[in-house]
Structure 1
Amino acid sequence: MPYSFWWPLLCGAATGLLLRLVFSGDSGQAYTPMLAAFVYLAPLVVGMVTVYVAERSHRRSWGYYAGSAAFANVLFVVGSLAILVEGLICAILILPLFTAIGAVGGLLMGLVCRFTNWPRGTLGCFAALPLLLGALGGDPGPRVHSVENVRRQVLVQAPASEVWQHLLDADRIAPGEVETAWMYRIGVPMPLAGVTEETADGLVRDVRMGKGIHFTQVASDWEPGRRVHWRYRFGPGSVPPGALDDHVRIGGDYFDLVGTTYRLTPRGQATVLEIEMQYRVSTDFDWYAEPLARWLIGDFSEVILDFYRVRSEAVAGTGPA
């Protein structure tokens, strides 16, 4: 039979898309795509199908097993974006894991094809496994996981009183002021403004972002010019449909920002500004998701500190206007 270069890759990617369509359940239901049965086994099956189809033409190399299986998973993720069953943020974050697991699947099928006489049976068993586990292992919903934190600090050449004002009121945020943060590069809408009002309940900050996202930060503890601890409050319409991937939605089953603390320490005419962000990651694969969250939140912390530094120094006359 004539097999083109693309035929095995397309068969593998198509298998992944079929599995993704099956795993379309909501949180707490069977067949949700955040189940370990899908995250670990779907890319493995994609890699195995790719190599199985390729081996039916002629013997391939070990490099082909790993490389083609990984590339088929790239096509699988791109295809899930094209048919609108996955969002850009999730696709970018999961791609390294899928390609790595896919390469393992390709090598495993290559091993089976070289040294056994039952590649078809092996493939059928592995393909049925995610379907079986997906039906039996309904996602339990929100999990109780530990709250992690990230700390960063920067020296601002401006008095603490000036820095404090910018912490409370950051209006008309231009894209160029924050766009270097990786979370915005991969699709999180950029902030537009964060304006604070003192109410009977204390300090309340109204935060607005692109795509209609809006929420409030409520100060549970603060000392003017010294520190403020914000807790996040999201309403039913805070995140419009489609503004964020459901699997990375703040306050969702799998991710949440618990609180943010700013501390200001005078250093002569300068100020040490420190940020501490508390967050929760609750998935079946925290070993992979938590380091990604830590990197993204740490990178964001550095960018937002620099944002406050530049604005404060511009007003104080110690930095560029």
Structure 2
Amino acid sequence: MILPLFIFTATIGAKLYDMWAAKRPPRDRSFTVAVFIIAPFLAGTFETWYAAPTDFRRVENTILIQAPASVVWQHITRVPAISTAELAPSLVDKLGFPRPVKATLTYEGVGGVRHATFERGVEFIETVDVWEPQRRLSFSIKPNTATIPPTTFDEHVTIGGRFFDVLHGTYELHAVSPTQTRLVLYSQQRLSTRLNFYAGLWTDYIMGDIQERILTVIRKRCETPAI
């Protein structure tokens, strides 16, 4: 994930060195090399003096489903086990993020708790705070840190860690016709890094990909006739 930024900054550094060294006699180039080697360590020291800013980001995905809102609602409140065949290949998988598995619900209504399970022991506890049947389902999200092994994520992408967290999720159902529903899924995340401008590109992409895959599973299930 850091590779594109590393290549860009390394190229800038190499260009600056070339411009600087070209104006110096050969005997001074060793000193120039030393300066360029030490500079990042000095910059890193100054960086620790400032707290990382916090950004709150929203990622939204939409899908059109050929099914009435009543059918779609049944498929979002609870999500039975998702097979590997239901999930299309994704770059997110290759980056090491667990795939969604299922979502359960303790009871219907505000205060109900959804347990959203992902591979490798990752689980999110989602407490329902808006329950409007066939219209809107919204919930606050907390990672179940007791079930998530410490080796599942790097510390920079650990959900609920000091750098990143997912705070809230919402499904909205919009009836386009008696047999068509537009389903919207959006989430809010907290990002606390000194490179929020760059890290945000990745978190938006990853969250968008995860949400899109979940919506695709829901659409296929809603549009598949019950046997």
Please say whether Structure 1 and Structure 2 have the same fold, judged by a TM-score greater than 0.5. Answer: yes
Shift of 1:187: 1.1
Instruction: Give the equivalent residue in structure 1 for 2:5.
Output: 97
Instruction: Give the equivalent residue in structure 1 for 2:185.
Output: 275
The one-letter code matched in structure 2 to 1:298 is G
Instruction: Give the equivalent residue in structure 1 for 2:173.
Output: 264
Q: Is the 8 A contact 2:21 2:32 kept in 1?
A: no
Instruction: Give the equivalent residue in structure 1 for 2:85.
Output: 176
- The answer as to 2:118 corresponding to 1:209 is yes
Q: Is the 8 A contact 1:150 1:276 kept in 2?
A: yes
In structure 1, what is the Cα distance between the partners aligned to 2:199 and 2:109? Answer: 39
Q: Is the 8 A contact 2:185 2:211 kept in 1?
A: yes
Rg comparison, structure with higher value: 1
Per-residue CA deviation, residues 86-133 of structure 1 (Å, 9 max, x unaligned), is xxxxxxx11001011111222222333333122211221222223234
Is the partner of 2:33 in helix, strand or coil? helix
Shift of 1:200: 8.9
The match for 2:142 among 233, 238, 243 is 233
- Percent identity over the alignment is 30
- The answer as to 2:216 corresponding to 1:306 is yes
Normalized per residue, which structure has more strand?
Answer: 2
The match for 1:125 among 35, 41, 46 is 35
- The answer as to 2:186 corresponding to 1:284 is no
- The answer as to 2:156 corresponding to 1:247 is yes
Instruction: Give the equivalent residue in structure 1 for 2:101.
Output: 192
Q: Could you say which structure has the greater relative contact order, defined with CA pairs below 8 angstroms and 6 or more residues apart?
A: 2
In structure 2, what is the Cα distance between the partners aligned to 1:104 and 1:149? Answer: 32
After TM superposition, the structure 1 stretch with the greater mean CA deviation from structure 2, 240-249 or 125-134, is 125-134
In structure 1, what is the Cα distance between the partners aligned to 2:109 and 2:23? Answer: 74
| Aligned pairs for 1:14-163 within 5 A | 93-117=1-25, 118-138=28-48, 143=52, 145-163=54-72
Q: Which runs of 5+ in 2 are unaligned?
A: none
When residues 181 and 231 of structure 1 are mapped into structure 2, their CA distance, relative to the original with a 3 A threshold, is farther
Q: Give the root-mean-square deviation of aligned CA atoms.
A: 2.3
Deviant stretches of 4+, over 4 Å: none
Per-residue CA deviation, residues 147-183 of structure 1 (Å, 9 max, x unaligned), is 2212221111112121111112212211232343432
Q: Is the 8 A contact 1:182 1:300 kept in 2?
A: no
With the length of structure 1 as denominator, give the TM-score of the two structures.
Answer: 0.64
In structure 2, what is the Cα distance between the partners aligned to 1:166 and 1:147? Answer: 29
The one-letter code matched in structure 1 to 2:220 is V
Normalized per residue, which structure has more helix?
Answer: 1
In structure 2, what is the Cα distance between the partners aligned to 1:231 and 1:284? Answer: 26
